[in-house]
Structure 1
């Protein structure tokens, strides 16, 4: 069976520390919640928490993540980045690039990043990323970065109320996709990208993120404290925030919230 057990996954890892400490569960409420518990208890950086299913998988802004048994990859990695607090948002950009590039390399899928941390295939959502940080006195204690990937799900099995139309690797490639190989590739690539961040080479990650962006060059609707605005997404700034020029020519730095491409 295509189980994501340590016996199946760990021998194929070439990472130095991502996944070398590997916690595996048949069922969890949330891999992020378990990873937070483990991180607070002192597990090392790179510790991976993997579940075959989640009963309360979480996305951004309190949304749920559909996590049926044995169909997807539900993994959270514990990170302890030695970064200034204002750079913590870079972790999500690193993860998004790693996921998109893994799908391109391993499955030849045309993955694109919908800012800030959704991965789409031809406009349909295949993956989501949720990074959560623990902060004390302006110091990053740890970050847990959770990744949910739709792998062998069938379209008819997704809930009807998802905000973005879903897809899966199986639906896109019209064949069963081995989850073990994909998780190995993801952990290996995520570590390489993360190492670039720690070594001060985020500019390369950002360049790749720009090329993978589905938003740059598009008219988008975005959140502001005063409500939503409409403008042209023009770039990512040095921390991965989205830069949007409104119709008056004012450039907004979008740090969080929702953005949606406006259909032409």
Structure 2
């Protein structure tokens, strides 16, 4: 995977989505910024950036993923690769459904994926060095460069969705202590049931990780 490192840009995700859509960049490609001035968080909210935090986006052909990965759960797949990497280094990081990174009960980052024809553009952001008051910081020391290189090394192993889902399902009970925003409403995950394709059934409705 070719990774381009830059000092600062508004948003790696917006840059790469636009570049792929306009045909200026083709997969595989990744870009990382030492600092984002207009990062994107959950539901399109701004995510404050601090120099040295993790902020990168990459694009891959959908066909590059293992055949059993549900397309609608690509964010879960990518996020769990990062989670498994950091857990192997001693972190207690876990993934809250569908795409938020937490340490204990504090959000420290997240993942989002856009699909452009047959290309997936994924962005991953995480607080490694600093965070606003409402958020947390990763509980181990690792540089953004090492995290990115470790992520792609693990991604190249082509871990099956079956293995990813097994590990994710073990963490899902932690998600049930939280809520999610669906259709403009804040809904508790306490009674949510996790399905094998990464979706959940809540209030008798199946909901997918669409971001």
Q: TM-score, normalised by structure 2?
A: 0.83
Asked if the contact 1:97–1:212 (Cα under 8 Å) also holds between the matched residues in 2, the reply is no
Shift of 1:117: 0.2
Specify the alignment match of 2:151 in structure 1: 186
Q: Could you tell me which of 242, 245, 255 is aligned with 2:200?
A: 242
Specify the alignment match of 1:15 in structure 2: none
1:146 to 2:105 alignment = no
Larger Rg: 1 or 2? 1
Aligned-pair RMSD on alpha carbons? 2.8
Stretches (4+) displaced over 4 A: 219-231
Matches within 5 A, 1:35-54: 35-40=16-21, 41=23, 43-54=25-36
> Quick one: structure 1 residues 179 and 256, their matched pair in 2 at CA, closer, same or farther if it must change by over 3 Å?
closer
Shift of 1:208: 1.6
Shift of 1:112: 1.4
SS at match of 2:47: coil
Specify the alignment match of 1:17 in structure 2: none
* Rounded Cα–Cα distance in structure 2 between residues aligned with 1:75 and 1:62: 16
Number of residue pairs the alignment of both structures matches: 206
Q: TM-score, normalised by structure 1?
A: 0.68
1:166 to 2:148 alignment = no
Shift of 1:190: 3.1
Shift of 1:235: 3.5
Per-residue deviation, residues 20-79 of structure 1 (Å, max 9, x unmatched): 32222111111012212332326343311111111111123111111122x211110102
Specify the alignment match of 1:203 in structure 2: 162
* Rounded Cα–Cα distance in structure 2 between residues aligned with 1:225 and 1:65: 21
* Rounded Cα–Cα distance in structure 2 between residues aligned with 1:224 and 1:125: 18
Specify the alignment match of 2:59 in structure 1: 78
SS at match of 1:116: coil
1:27 to 2:8 alignment = yes
Asked if the contact 2:92–2:103 (Cα under 8 Å) also holds between the matched residues in 1, the reply is yes
Specify the alignment match of 1:16 in structure 2: none
* Rounded Cα–Cα distance in structure 2 between residues aligned with 1:226 and 1:144: 25
* Rounded Cα–Cα distance in structure 2 between residues aligned with 1:226 and 1:145: 24
